[in-house]
Amino acid sequence: MLKGMFTKPENMRMYWKELMHQCVEIGIGSMGIVIIISVFMGAVSAVQTSYQLVSPLIPISTIAQIVRDTVILEFAPTVVCIVLAGVVGSKISSELGNMRVSEQIDALEIMGINTKAFLILPKILACLLTIPMLVVLSMVLGILGGRLAGTATGILSAENYDMGLLLNFIPYNVFFALVKAYTFAFIISTVPSYFGYYIKGGALEIGRSSTKSVVISCVMILFADYILAALLLDK
């Protein structure tokens, strides 16, 4: 499928218009759920970390360190992308599946249009552009959510939280999270596109194909998460 996208490229003007449309659909359309999830992930991390740190020997600012590292390394890229696999992946699969079942793809091919390049490539590029941005947004909101929860419940002061955020910060963690974000974005865009494009049957198969694409995308994201952690975090 990926090879077929580059065999007969279409007009770049056509790509640009569809790319902008997909960026709005995928990026702006998913922003609401990402904001909600990120804020509450950071808040829950702060509260649960404070519950587990019962020793008076551990500084209270350690809570901010743990929230920062867990949000950047795991929560923002992995959890958010698993949610996006359900939101974006099911949308891509059902959209392409509906076009296949209603013979719209066949009509485009009769007109001489490379449907793989016209329908799938903009979706992949849009995911590679917008999903890493959503992951960065999730990092910021997750850390802010932990700060709000920590100060609102009286767990620690804003000064202690800010001090913990800056303590022993490793910039490589952000690079590692972005590598995961781009890898997961590629999985989220390609797997549902494959299942939607090559669907066979009627309207009933659209739902089954969408469900299967989401499940396989989530499994591949978790598998890729382990592989990347083993490769890039190996000391």
Note the pLDDT tens digit of each residue in 191-221: 998 888 888 877 777 888 888 888 999 999 9
Nearest-angstrom CA–CA distance, 203 and 13: 32
Residue 124 confidence (pLDDT) above 80: yes
Residue 124 tokens read as: 């992949």
Q: Beta-carbon neighbour count of residue 179 at 10 Å?
A: 15
Nearest-angstrom CA–CA distance, 72 and 38: 11
Q: What is the mean pLDDT of residues 123-135?
A: 90
Which band of pLDDT confidence, cut at 50, 70 and 90, is reported for residue 11? low
Contacts of 221 (CB under 8 A, 6+ apart): 78, 81, 82, 85, 184, 187, 188
Three-state DSSP state, 170: coil
Can you give the pLDDT at residue 149? Answer: 86
CB 149 within 8 A of CB 64: no
Nearest-angstrom CA–CA distance, 190 and 87: 14
Distances (CA, A) of 217 to 67, 92, 111: 27, 12, 32
Three-state DSSP state, 200: coil
